[in-house]
Amino acid sequence: MKAADKAKHRTDMISSALRSAILERVLMPGMKLPEDSLGERFGVSRTLIRQSLERLAAEGLVELRRNKGAMVAKPSLEEARDLFELRTQIEDLVISRVIKNMSPALLAELEGHLAKEVAAEHASEPISIRLATEFHILLAKLSGSPVLLRYVEEIGYRCGLTLSLYARPHSTDCGIQEHRQIIEALSKGDADAARKLMRHHLTAVADRALFTTEEGGPLLYLDALEPYAKKVRDGGA
């Protein structure tokens, strides 16, 4: 078996599935996540579910309370602001590093992703948000720093969660345009412009998002998880 890390462990799949479900608003903030029910759904025991939940808790996507169980995290507006501010600063660092590594291959990757975003422009909103987040993650990957990548991932996911909580619809339309501009600036090697654009991009997203505070929304139940669970049961990625 030379395929190195071919089959990631089931815990990874489950975490990913849950993460996607959370970011795509299938699991809404505040929902309880009992180990038993989840285990049953995913066809595994509580052990693996617990590991996954713990991992997600470390990422800040779920809250894990003493003997009370896990629930999808419900970040406060204050935390959200802190997160977005930190994000702009962290992504500044990403830009600086990406500029240093700039190459045609790298540019191609970025444009490939942008194409995906365009293709999904009229898909459902949660999916747009996910793709937009992945753009930032791709940038971080191209920065060449594993740690930086991890941080951008985490912050990106949490911001995504926040957006799903506080943002109104149609907040992503102009996002694609802004991504395109950033890629252009990068391709020209213009770090300052790229940084500025990125900063503008992020604060724009934050400003569009972080003022509506309407509560509630329909709490979907675990049944909506079914498609995600099925993929894992069948061994899919």
In single-letter form, the type of residue at position 99 comes to: I
**Residue 166: CB atoms within 10 Å:** 19
Closest C-alpha to 20, from 175, 225, 159, 222: 225
- Give the integer Cα–Cα distance in Å for 130 and 148: 19
Count of chain residues binding a copy of itself (CB under 8 A): 20
Contacts of DNA in 97-116 (CB under 7 A) = none
194 binds, among a copy of itself, DNA, none (CB under 5 to 8 A by kind): none
Radius of gyration of the chain, Cα coordinates, nearest whole angstrom = 18
Encoded one letter per residue, x for contact with a copy of itself by CB under 8 A and - for no contact, window 49-88 reads --x--xx--x-x-----x------------x--xx--x--
Q: Report residue 185 as tokens.
A: 């600036």
> Among 61-69, 95-103, 188-196, 214-222, which window interacts with DNA (CB under 7 A)?
61-69
Q: Which amino acid, 83?
A: L
**What is the distance between the alpha carbons of residues 51 and 84, in angstroms, rounded to a whole number?**
28
x-marked contacts with DNA along 19-48 as a string, rule CB under 7 A: -------------xxxxxx------xxxxx
Residues in touch with a copy of itself (CB under 8 A): 5, 51, 54-55, 58, 60, 66, 79, 82-83, 86, 89, 93, 144-148, 151, 155
